[in-house]
Structure 1
Amino acid sequence: MLEKFLVGTYTKKTSDGVYEMAIDTDKEQLTAPNLVARADSPTYLALSAAHKLYAVDKNAAEGIGGTTAFDLTKSPAEILNHVFSKGSSPAYVAVDEKRQLVYEGNYHTATVKSFAIQADGSLALADVITHQGAVGPAPEQTDGPHVHYTDLTPDNRLIVCDLGMDQVTIYDVSDDGKLSLVSTYQTEPGFGPRHVAFNTQKNLCYLVGELSSEIATLKYDPTTGTLTHLQTLKTIPADWTEHNGAAAIRLTADGQFVYVSNRGFNTLAVFAVQEDGTLALRQQISTEGDFPRDFALDATQQFAVVVNQNTDNATLYRRNATTGQLTLLQKNVTVPEGVCVVFE
């Protein structure tokens, strides 16, 4: 059986855009990457149920960036439209199937945007919010707010991570994509909120701090749309003194294990979810490469795939459903400048 997935990339060296790969579950191996959509540094991807691809993209010559809509039912993928604006390209894009919206978070321009999905899958701007305010103490924060994540809560609000402001904000979203602020959660200074994962069974939110290399367990109150701190743990050993940036986070479908990638320490950290929803570290396993920005679990939850940006390789693991621990199956599979992994 082949389980297909897409890989978003930078295109600074040899990559040409978005690639498709697969796990051969019988051989327990990865297939070679195949280019399916040309784009300029499509570093984050979102796939709709209609098989439309929404990819971070830019036109460097014109100094504009944004999101490009592709029709993946065509081969090669057909461009439906670009929704670009002045400045650098975004850091995150997500699909809202219920309201037929797409959300975009821009690290450089500190904007949160919503787009309406048109009948053909193309996008039209619905709303935009620009973050302003005090920033954290870390060097990466001093130049202003940095929106790094825009995706849905379990009750279909929009949750936004601002790495620069050390804030997580939650918005209500109207059917036509208008955003209205519900709550703001302030992390510890220098935490650098990057990505979240929700445990719907326990009304919890797991928040990754890129700059602090930490993961926070937060209680989510769906009635008020607010977050309350419960626990913070390191994603790396206490004696690690070189640079590290915590990056992607994934929660298993059964809500029992959380995985976080570490860029610098170059591992996947495996946490077990305790009865009260707090976390306990169970494993640190090498990603067999440098700078693992993203990884993903397959639909069966038996495998995990990580891409290492700086060493141009992907790594495949088998996952133990009982212990949550990972076992290396394959490494050194060439993937140019891999950044994002999205299973189809």
Structure 2
Amino acid sequence: MRLILTLIAVGLVLGVLPARAADCVYVSDAKGSRILVFRQDSESGELTPAGEVATAGTPGSLCVDPERKYLFAALRSAKTIASYRIDPQSGELEHLSTTAAKEDPAYVATDRTGRWLLSAYYRAGQIAVHRLDDGGTISPEGMWTETADKAHAIVVDRSNRFLFVPHTGPEKIFQFRFDAQTGRVTPNDPPVVETEAGIGPRHIWFHPAKDVAFVSEEQGSSMGAYRFDPEAGTLSPLEGQHRHSTLPDGFSQRNSCSDIEVTPDGRYVYVGNRGHDSIAGFAFDDDGRISSLGTFATEQTPRSFNIDPSGRFLYAAGQGSGRLAAYRIDESSGALRRFATYKAGSTPWWVLVVHTEN
């Protein structure tokens, strides 16, 4: 023990200890054609600008592989998807590959093995699966599947056996079986979940432990809750708790929902309101009951937000203000308490928090 302490002391004096792994927040600045990098203080949640990387197109959706080595970006105006290596000490991004897509990719995500990159295409009405090699390069050959107009997101379940694609166009959630060995997707039975007219399912997020999925409903200004059958891989409305308004009583102005996320412990669900310009919060208790936490003011047009892996902080991008709002999540109540606001380019579209340390 004395030897270890001596080595640490010498390292501190000489400045030769290994650098601490990076906790970073990445923000797509759409009109700026760049991804902004912020270093995160893991204790306070405060951010420090740490650089940027230019992109060959308008960056939108961002995702990271399960081992947090590579970042993937949808470059919407260029109709491409790109991959970047994440420097584990600095958080800097190094471009690795760019692959042609179709129309503008609205959403990217990896499967749970990190071997496949999934993408959804809003205008093309399709989804794609691309193989990822061990170095984070995206295969140019994608496996394409037609769905319908306005495919808005693509997400696998916890088992990595089923895949779901909400559509704001036909107002359906497409359900697929997913083969993680081959990357092949096939329609499930039934192939779609029909939703009510005027709802517009946009994004979907699975509870980390329970067989429940939550959906942001763009046109309905609501949050939908679904029971998930883990054997069949299908969704059905959560009885008695299927739909919850994201707006306060009496609000009658135009609004549309954007993103949705669940805290890592599964206790709280948040949905973005564009128009009311707020984040709506819901509690989900051990008995499966859902209750409203109210709304929390945010920047203009919160297109995207992300909860950090510790579950203590939430960062929301204001597309209309060019600023990033930072909140602490109250562990006992789920309330969001804003503690800082940061400049985030001209048009921040997407937010992604990455802790590179395993």
* 2:92 pairs with 1:81: no
- In structure 2, the CA distance between the partners of 1:250 and 1:320, relative to structure 1 (3 Å rule), is same
Q: Which of 210, 228, 233 is matched with 2:244 structurally?
A: 233
Structure 2 equivalent of residue 140 of structure 1: none
1:315 aligned onto 2:325: yes
Output the amino acid matched with 1:194.
R
SS of equivalent to 2:153:
strand
Pick closer, same or farther for the CA change 1:318–1:221 going to 2, 3 Å. Answer: same
What residue in structure 2 maps to residue 286 of structure 1? Answer: 297
Residue of structure 1 aligned with 2:72, choices 51, 54, 61: 54
8 Å contact kept, 1:37–1:77: no
Q: Aligned to 1:8, which of 28, 31, 37?
A: 28
Aligned length: 323
Of 175, 190, 206, 1:198 maps to 206
Query: 2:154 aligns to what SS in structure 1?
Result: strand
AA partner of residue 204 (structure 1)? V
- Point out the more displaced range, 333-342 or 292-301: 333-342
Q: Per-residue deviation at 1:113?
A: 0.3
Task: Provide the C-alpha distance between the structure 1 equivalents of 2:105 and 2:286, rounded to a whole number of angstroms.
Answer: 37
| Equivalent pair of 2:328/2:337 in contact (CA under 8 Å) | yes
Q: Are 1:270 and 1:324, in contact at CA under 8 Å, matched by a contact in 2?
A: yes
Q: Which residue of the partner structure matches residue 138 of structure 1?
A: none
Distance between the aligned counterparts of 1:102 and 1:123, measured in 2?
8
State the structure with more CA Rg: 2
Deviations 1:19-76 (A, max 9, x none): 1113335555322362134242111111122522211115x5xxx5031122234996
Give per-residue Cα distances to partners, 1:226-266, cap 9 Å, x unaligned.
11112101111242222211111111111111111111111
Partner of 1:161: 166
Matched, 1:264 2:275: yes
Tell me which amino acid in the other structure corresponds to 1:46. Answer: C
Classify the secondary structure of the residue corresponding to 2:302: coil
Amino acid at match of 2:151: V
Whole-Å separation in 2 of the counterparts to 1:330 and 1:57: 29
Instruction: Give matches, 1:76-155, under 5 Å.
Output: 77-87=93-103, 89-98=104-113, 100-124=115-139, 125-132=141-148, 145-155=149-159
2: distance between equivalents of 1:336 and 1:21?
Answer: 16
User: Mean alpha-carbon deviation: is it higher for 327-336 or for 183-192?
Assistant: 327-336
User: Is contact 1:217–1:278 with CA below 8 Å preserved after alignment?
Assistant: no
The answer for the alignment partner of 1:303 in structure 2 is 313
User: How far 1:203 moved relative to its partner?
Assistant: 0.5
Q: What letter matches 1:21 in structure 2?
A: F
| 1:92 aligned partner, one-letter code | Y
Residue deviations 1:277-328, cap 9 Å, x none?
Answer: 24211121101x2101111122222211111011000111111111111112
| Matched-pair contact (CA < 8 Å) for 2:267–2:283 | yes
Give the conservation status (yes or no) of the 8 Å contact 2:33–2:59: no
* Structure 1: runs of 5+ lacking an equivalent: 133-144
Q: How many angstroms apart in 2 are the aligned matches of 1:83 and 1:282?
A: 42
Alignment check: 8 A CA contact 1:163 1:193 kept: yes
CA-to-aligned-CA distance 1:155-176 (integer Å, 9 cap, x gap): 2111111111111122112212
The one-letter code of the counterpart of 2:125 is A
2:28 maps to amino acid: G
Write out per-residue CA displacement over residues 165-199 of structure 1, whole angstroms, 9 at most, x where no aligned residue: 11112211221211101132111012111111112
Query: Partner residue of 1:36?
Result: 53
TM-score, normalised on structure 1? 0.87
Gaps of 5+ in 2: 1-19
Identity of aligned residues (%): 23
Secondary structure of 2:269's aligned partner: strand
Query: For structure 1, which segment, 30-39 or 122-131, has the greater mean C-alpha deviation from structure 2 after superposition?
Result: 30-39
- CA–CA separation in structure 2 for the residues paired with 1:22 and 1:176: 37
- Over 3 Å counting, the alpha-carbon distance change for 1:32 and 1:277 in structure 2 is same
Compute the TM-score of the two structures, normalised by the length of structure 2: 0.84
8 Å contact from structure 2 (residues 51, 92) kept in 1: no
Q: In structure 1, what is the equivalent of residue 15 of structure 2?
A: none
Write the distance in 2 (CA, Å) between the matches of 1:206 and 1:26: 29
Instruction: Look up the SS of the partner of 1:31 in the other structure.
Output: strand
Structure 1 residues 79 and 108: CA distance shift in structure 2, 3 A:
same
Q: Which amino acid aligns with 1:109?
A: A
Return closer, same or farther for 1:146/1:16 CA change in 2, 3 Å cut-off. Answer: closer
The alignment status of 1:277 with 2:288, answered yes or no, reads yes
CA contact (8 A) 1:99 1:176 kept: no
CA distance in 1, matches of 2:234, 2:145: 20
Using the alignment, how far apart are the partners of 2:231 and 2:246 within structure 1?
Answer: 31
